[in-house]
Amino acid sequence: MIPDGYKPFISDDHFKKESYKKIEKIYAKKEASLLASISAAFDEIPITDGMTLSFHHHYRNGDLLLNMVVEEIKKRNLKHMKLAPSSIFPVHKPLVELIKNKQVTSIFTNYISGDVADSISKGHLKDLLIMDTHGGRARAIETGDLSIDVAFIAASAADQKGNANGIDGPNPCGPLGYIYPDLYYAKHKIVVTDTFIDKLSSNDIDSAFVDYIIKVSQIGLSTGIESGTTQMTKDPVQLKIAKDTVKLIKALNLIKNGMSFQTGAGSTSIAVSHFLKEEMIAQKVQGSFASGGITKSLVNMFEHHLFQELHDVQSFDLDAVMSYKNNKHHHLMDASKYANPFYKNNIASQLDIVVLGATEVDLDFNVNVTTSSTHKLMGGSGGHSDTAYESKLTIITTNLVKSRIPFIKEHIETVSTPGTSVDVVVTERGIAINPLRTDILDHLKDSSLNILPIKTLYQKAVSLTSIPKQIEHKDRIVGLIRYRDGSIIDVIYEVKS
């Protein structure tokens, strides 16, 4: 099943047995030079067929840079290009044409949605899609597994030397956590910005590594960062799941001084943060830090002194961007320090609690966050596998049933995060504890929480929905899910139309 040249996944802690060899950091040979345009960069380097170009996704669905480079590739009729954007969003639709005509034949990314995802699901990409985790991408770049020719670094502001950041200028996007491996290890580094400032608020991007600077009319749309759901859910089922999650955390005596916490940006995550905030205030608790992609909810908790520090790898909304700019205890966290398994004492390893989502979960607690239940590519691990392994307590929140789809299944289509990393699954009809966690089971044996074996939850689900038919996919493998240690944990198949 796994193609030649790739190692199969063994276990989520196998990396402990492995040695880690980083390649040399590549500093700029001279002071950064100002180029007139993206086109000029293609001429100067020069950018040729088959090169690997990388990007960060800090503008999320407001990103403009990747499309600018795609346009240039198209104009120049370059072929077999490899792209390594840390995530791909609906805004990146222009890339589909280049995939179809084989100008782009290879993609490395951590999260993918929109038309590009659909196109790859349908088998248009010539070579394999490689999906890394956030920590795994850092590992791949640091070891040379993913060798980058040119890193395009979108920055909201830069100075003449090539220092840059994502906080100054009219289109800020926050800390540029994901681009650091690219900044240090890519052969050529280009800062692209729409604003030059003499004195930046901070030199997040160090000019010592920057070869070129380009000014464009607009680098990205700050408003595109927010992915729609920044409000707390009103859905009573989601609210129940969120409330029960916090009740569980409380029952495990984890709401205490010094606690650390991370969750995502979805509406259920925001509800969990809301109820956690209420509990922490009621119990007069101050946590040590909250981390991850930072949202307004976490900033709000931080401003209520519920956390001493925020460790931020990306901003999910403008409140987070502003907080990063203004609060000295709101820190930038680069991707390697965040989640690279080979980075000693990475931030994720200091987490007490992480609350994550899922598209599907199986009876062994394996989680799929990469494909839909019909095999379509529609997401990706991001920091899921990283934080699930590293955090002391990993909670998955999910509906048991939604619009007839059961979320707990006997077998899931794709494994993104192995069950050994998952401790608890909270659904609206009950909570399942991984049998490996006898300590949690013991702690909660007299609790009033509705704790059930995962098989019972599964049976409840199918008693409501009936058993779904197994959906067929084509035989061709279109992508690999690369676990954070570089091994391949699962594959992505081409969908049947």
Positions touching other proteins (CB under 8 A) are: 236-237, 239-240, 243, 373-374, 402-405, 428-429, 464-466, 468-469, 471
Q: Do you find a cis peptide bond into 3, omega within 30 degrees of 0?
A: no
As measured in angstroms, the least distance from the Cβ of 247 to other proteins is: 11
Work out how close the CB of 451 gets to other proteins at its nearest, in angstroms, rounded to a whole number: 15
**Please, which residue, 46 or 236, has the CB nearer to other proteins?**
236
CB of 471 to other proteins, least distance (A): 5
Q: Which is nearer to other proteins, 238 or 336 (by Cβ)?
A: 238
Nearest-approach distance from CB 464 to other proteins, in angstroms: 6
Residue whose token pair is 């590992």: 139
Q: Of 2 and 449, which has the nearer Cβ to other proteins? A: 449
Of 34 and 467, the one with the shorter C-beta distance to other proteins is 467
Query: What DSSP designation does 449 have?
Result: S
Which H or E run includes 174?
none
Q: Are strands 473-482 and 488-495 parallel, antiparallel or unpaired?
A: antiparallel
**AA letter at 393:** L
Cβ 234 to other proteins, closest distance in Å?
8
**To the nearest whole angstrom, how small is the minimum distance from the Cβ of residue 204 to other proteins?**
40
Round to whole Å and give the CA distance between 298 and 273.
Answer: 7
**Which residue in the block uniquely carries the two structure tokens 């399942």?**
432
Of 104 and 461, which CB lies nearer to other proteins in the complex structure?
461
Burial grade of 293 (CB within 10 A; 0-12, 13-18, 19 or more): buried
Provide, rounded to whole angstroms, the least separation between the CB of residue 335 and other proteins: 36
Within a 10 A sphere around the Cβ of 29, how many other Cβ atoms? 6
**Residue 142 or 244 with smaller CB distance to other proteins:** 244
**What is the rounded distance in angstroms from the CA atom of residue 353 to the CA atom of residue 38?**
43
46: preceding bond cis by omega (within 30 degrees)? yes
Nearer to other proteins, 94 or 468 (CB): 468
CB of 384 to other proteins, least distance (A): 24
Residues paired with 353 in a beta bridge: 261, 393
- Report the C-alpha gap between 148 and 141 in whole angstroms: 8
Q: What is the Cα–Cα distance from 390 to 393, expressed in whole angstroms?
A: 9
- Chain-centroid distance, C-alpha 30: 33
The DSSP output letter for 223 is G
Structure tokens belonging to residue 51: 């090169």
In angstroms, what is the minimal distance from the CB of 184 to other proteins?
45
Closest CB 288 distance from other proteins, rounded Å: 30
The residue type at 50: G
Query: Is 407 in contact with 359 (CB distance < 8 Å)?
Result: yes
Q: Give 67 or 465: the residue with its C-beta nearer to other proteins.
A: 465
> At 68, is the secondary structure helix, strand, or coil?
helix
Q: Which is nearer to other proteins, 67 or 456 (CB)?
A: 456
Rank residues 45 and 462 by Cβ distance to other proteins and give the closer one: 462
Distance CA 93, CA 67 (A): 8
